[in-house]
Amino acid sequence: MQKLKHIPTLEDINASHEAIKSMIHRTPILTSQSLNQITGAQLFFKCENFQKIGAFKMRGASNAALRLTDAERAKGLATHSSGNHAQAVALSAKLLGIPAYIVMPDTSPSIKIAGTKGYGAEVTFSQNTQASREQTLEAVVARTGATFIHPYDDYNVIAGQATAAKELIEDTNELDIILSPVGGGGLMSGTALTTHYLLPNAEVLGAEPQEVNDAWRSFTTGQLQRNTTINTIADGLRTNLSAKTFGIISHHVNDILTVSEEAIIKAMRLCWERMKIIIEPSSAVPLAAILTHPERFKGKKVGLILTGGNVDLQQLPF
Amino acid sequence: MQKLKHIPTLEDINASHEAIKSMIHRTPILTSQSLNQITGAQLFFKCENFQKIGAFKMRGASNAALRLTDAERAKGLATHSSGNHAQAVALSAKLLGIPAYIVMPDTSPSIKIAGTKGYGAEVTFSQNTQASREQTLEAVVARTGATFIHPYDDYNVIAGQATAAKELIEDTNELDIILSPVGGGGLMSGTALTTHYLLPNAEVLGAEPQEVNDAWRSFTTGQLQRNTTINTIADGLRTNLSAKTFGIISHHVNDILTVSEEAIIKAMRLCWERMKIIIEPSSAVPLAAILTHPERFKGKKVGLILTGGNVDLQQLPF
């Protein structure tokens, strides 16, 4: 496989899915009678919280790693990430027998730092600002020659994330709506592409915390916007859209719904209590969108991607 | 179906399974590479935390309810229970369109009280002593004429609980050991019977908190013993064996392993963090037994029943 330099086609997504098969789980799709009753919709939860490293990020990172040349691979993988992408890059490197160098903000959840080190990666801490992360990473890359795997502004990563919606569509019957959270937009743009190719009549909606609504503002104004705060419990969604993800989202997403912090915590708790599964706050954002805008989903067959389950049990919001 | 007045045969268990089919879920069996690595065994988790009402108790309660006469059914079901059995009787009654009268200790977790009322049952509170529970229940039965469904000292209930191990055995390949927690012994005795009939070469082990080790003492002395304290986090296992359950356990269980409170909390946390599923403390006792006695399980194929997932999120031990 070669590195993708264009928006992934259906063939690219299919080839990516085939390539990463041995590095990921095909995760189950769960349903809940009680959540169907509460929402009036028929919900299908794609459980990426059961994915390797506990999040969908394994799909994109492994796909990007597999598309490097042998010479590039030998020098290893590098990235900066507050969590799930860090672990995904670390495990991808471990499975390929190559080194991983991860820059993590010193405010990262301890469970995610431990997970990253547990996969054998070298962790370098930065301050929790974009500038500090990028500078620290630059130094690491200069020292090691490792290839930077961007968490989302990379068509190889996007093609990998697109495989979650591919499985969701393959394992359900004619969904009316597919809902994904939006952070940096890697999963959102991959989901939008897959749905566009495989289920063109379905609506693709993004769900985003009001507190970090850069995607909603970018989508509605047509201009790429940035967050001014990162004041949300959904730690996976504090990042900004990039040129590549915004390009795909602005063409292939039907709408973006924003939700309050209260709605996120309520939805997270509902999943824990009714479905008996552990999801992280970012995963709860699509269900929060359904609870906030119920009329939009009543009677519909809705696929939701539960993005991850890496929660610090010492820091629960309830 | 008629009421069982004898130790359930394989035919009784098969008939019970067929009868309750529409009132229960066939729950999935999950595996975890990381827990296999930690224990050195191959573990198969029967996820009764995903069962209706969030626990295996639905199996026994529905089976007992289905074996009542029409005249008995019309007057409804009654029981005393601190939690899962209460919800199981309440939902069984709801599904059959008959009343349920539940006596609950006033110390019961709020989530379980809410769940029981949510199924339309009439809840009467007692003090948290066996005497108070039984007296309060007697008054309820005298007033209503409802039939008392005992949580475990009842062959109909035992035959229902036996169906969990039946599915576990059917859906796996030649387990070496089957592990169940022991509280009142309904699940343990049902599991022992099923294994005896369907997988006679497998070992059947019980797992019990040291703090409420009546089953271990009964098993090792050959005399039915009672707990003197209820000082365990595993709230589902504070009850005592009964004549019927001890009779089956003393014949068909190979051994009972006891575990510390620390081991229970550690095992519970491992399931939450590694498997991303919510289990209640009682469910963690079999994994705690494996972590406490690893040599006994190394290299073996072990089936564990995760009994339930009803946890008060406000009262977590970590």
Pick from A269, A277, A316: CB nearest B276: A277
Q: What's the mean per-residue pLDDT of chain A?
A: 96
Cβ atoms A13, A157 nearer than 8 A: no
CA B293 to chain A, closest CA, distance in angstroms equals 25
CB contact under 8 A, A276 and B276: no
Q: Does a structural domain hold residue A285?
A: yes
3-state secondary structure of B212: helix
Lateral strand order in the sheet of B203-209: B29-30, B42-47, B301-306, B177-181, B203-209, B255-259
Q: Can you give the pLDDT at residue A107?
A: 87
CA B49 to chain A, closest CA, distance in angstroms equals 7
Q: Say how far apart CA A161 and CA B46 lie, in whole Å.
A: 30
Q: Are residues B225 and B283 in the same domain?
A: yes
Cβ atoms A81, A89 nearer than 8 A: yes
Query: Mean pLDDT across the stretch B124-143?
Result: 94
Q: Are residues B232 and B265 in the same domain?
A: yes
Q: Does a structural domain hold residue A2?
A: no
Closest to B58 (Cα-Cα) out of B32, B20, B31, B101: B20
Beta strands in B183-227 (DSSP E): 203-209
CA A277 to chain B, closest CA, distance in angstroms equals 4
Q: Are residues A213 and A91 in the same domain?
A: no
A-B CB pairs within 8 A amount to: 37
CB contact under 8 A, A276 and B278: yes
CA B165 to chain A, closest CA, distance in angstroms equals 21
CB atoms within 10 A of CB A288: 28
Q: Are residues B181 and B281 in the same domain?
A: yes
Q: Which amino acid appears at position A282 of this protein?
A: S
Q: Are residues B36 and B175 in the same domain?
A: yes
**pLDDT tens string B66-78:** 999 999 999 999 9
Q: Are residues A74 and A35 in the same domain?
A: no
Q: Can you give the pLDDT at residue A110?
A: 82
Q: Are residues A84 and A175 in the same domain?
A: no
**Chain centroid offset of residue B275 CA:** 21
First to last CA, chain B: 46
Q: Can you give the pLDDT at residue B85?
A: 95
**pLDDT tens string A87-126:** 999 999 999 999 999 999 898 878 778 889 999 999 999 9
CB contact under 8 A, A273 and B111: yes
Q: Say how far apart CA A97 and CA A308 lie, in whole Å.
A: 25
CB atoms within 10 A of CB A289: 28
C-alpha dihedral (B133, B135, B140, B145), degrees to nearest 10: 120
Q: Say how far apart CA B190 and CA B8 lie, in whole Å.
A: 8
Q: Does a structural domain hold residue B1?
A: no
Q: Are residues A185 and A258 in the same domain?
A: yes
Cβ atoms B196, B99 nearer than 8 A: no
Which residue on chain B is closest to A314 by alpha carbon? Answer: B318
Q: Does a structural domain hold residue B143?
A: yes
CA B217 to chain A, closest CA, distance in angstroms equals 33
Asked whether the predicted pLDDT for residue B156 surpasses 90, the reply is: yes
| Angle subtended by helix axes A57-66 and A84-96, to nearest 10 | 40
Q: Can you give the pLDDT at residue B128?
A: 86
Cβ atoms B285, B207 nearer than 8 A: yes
Q: Say how far apart CA A161 and CA B160 lie, in whole Å.
A: 43
Q: Are residues B14 and B119 in the same domain?
A: no
Asked whether the predicted pLDDT for residue A250 surpasses 90, the reply is: yes
| B-chain residues near A277 (CB < 8 A) | 276-278
Asked whether the predicted pLDDT for residue B18 surpasses 90, the reply is: yes
Cβ atoms A310, A84 nearer than 8 A: yes
3-state secondary structure of A135: helix
**Chain centroid offset of residue A42 CA:** 23
What would you report as the CA-atom Rg of chain B, rounded to the nearest whole angstrom? 18
Look up the domain containing A99 and give its range: 58-148
Closest to A137 (Cα-Cα) out of A69, A196, A200, A89: A89
Pick from B28, B54, B318: CB nearest A313: B318
Residue A217's Cβ-count burial label (10 Å; 0-12, 13-18, 19+) is middle
**pLDDT tens string A49-69:** 999 999 999 999 999 999 999
CA A316 to chain B, closest CA, distance in angstroms equals 9
3-state secondary structure of A124: strand
| B-chain residues near A318 (CB < 8 A) | 313-314
| A-chain residues near B277 (CB < 8 A) | 276-278
Q: Does a structural domain hold residue A114?
A: yes
**pLDDT tens string B290-317:** 999 999 999 999 999 999 999 989 889 9
Q: Say how far apart CA B233 and CA B267 lie, in whole Å.
A: 12
Q: Does a structural domain hold residue A240?
A: yes
Asked whether the predicted pLDDT for residue A212 surpasses 90, the reply is: yes
CB contact under 8 A, B313 and A272: yes
Probe site for chain B from A276, A280, A282, A315 (most B CB atoms < 10 A): A276
Tokens coding A263: 């709605």
Q: What's the mean per-residue pLDDT of chain B?
A: 96
Lateral strand order in the sheet of A122-126: A122-126, A100-105, A77-80, A147-148
What letters, b where the CB count within 10 A reaches 16 and e where it falls short, cover B80-95? Answer: bbbbbbbbbbbbbbeb
CB contact under 8 A, B111 and A314: no
* Cα B242–Cα B110–Cα B245 angle in degrees, nearest 5: 10
Q: Are residues B30 and B167 in the same domain?
A: yes
CB contact under 8 A, B279 and A278: no
Hey, which residues does A44 pair with through a beta bridge? A303
Q: Does a structural domain hold residue A224?
A: yes
Which of the listed residues B130, B148, B166 is the one where a domain comes to its end? B148
Share of chain B above pLDDT 90, in %: 92
Total structural domains in chain A?
Answer: 2
Asked whether the predicted pLDDT for residue B82 surpasses 80, the reply is: no
Pick from B50, B269, B314: CB nearest A276: B50
- Which CATH number does the domain housing residue A65 bear? 3.40.50.1100
Q: Are residues A267 and A141 in the same domain?
A: no
**pLDDT tens string B90-125:** 999 999 999 999 999 898 878 778 889 999 999 999
CB contact under 8 A, A313 and B309: no
Q: Does a structural domain hold residue B4?
A: no
**Chain centroid offset of residue A51 CA:** 12
| SS3 of B234-293 | CHHHCCCCCHHHHHHHHHHCCEEEEECHHHHHHHHHHHHHHHCECCCHHHHHHHHHHHHC
Closest to A94 (Cα-Cα) out of A115, A131, A119: A119
Which of the listed residues A99, A124, A148 is the one where a domain comes to its end? A148
Closest to A235 (Cα-Cα) out of A311, A121, A150: A311
Q: Which amino acid appears at position A32 of this protein?
A: S
Q: Say how far apart CA B89 and CA B10 lie, in whole Å.
A: 24
Which residue on chain B is closest to A54 by alpha carbon? Answer: B276
Q: Can you give the pLDDT at residue A265?
A: 98
Closest to A14 (Cα-Cα) out of A188, A178, A157, A163: A163
CA separation, residue B95 to residues A98, A243, B22, B309 (Å): 57, 54, 10, 21
Tokens 């948290």 belong to: B128
Which residue on chain B is closest to A269 by alpha carbon? Answer: B313
Q: Are residues B243 and B281 in the same domain?
A: yes
> Predicted ipTM?
0.92
Which of the listed residues B105, B120, B148 is the one where a domain comes to its end? B148
Q: Could you tell me whether strands A301-306 and B77-80 are parallel, antiparallel, or unpaired per DSSP bridges?
A: unpaired
Q: Say how far apart CA A3 and CA A13 lie, in whole Å.
A: 13
Residue A315's Cβ-count burial label (10 Å; 0-12, 13-18, 19+) is exposed
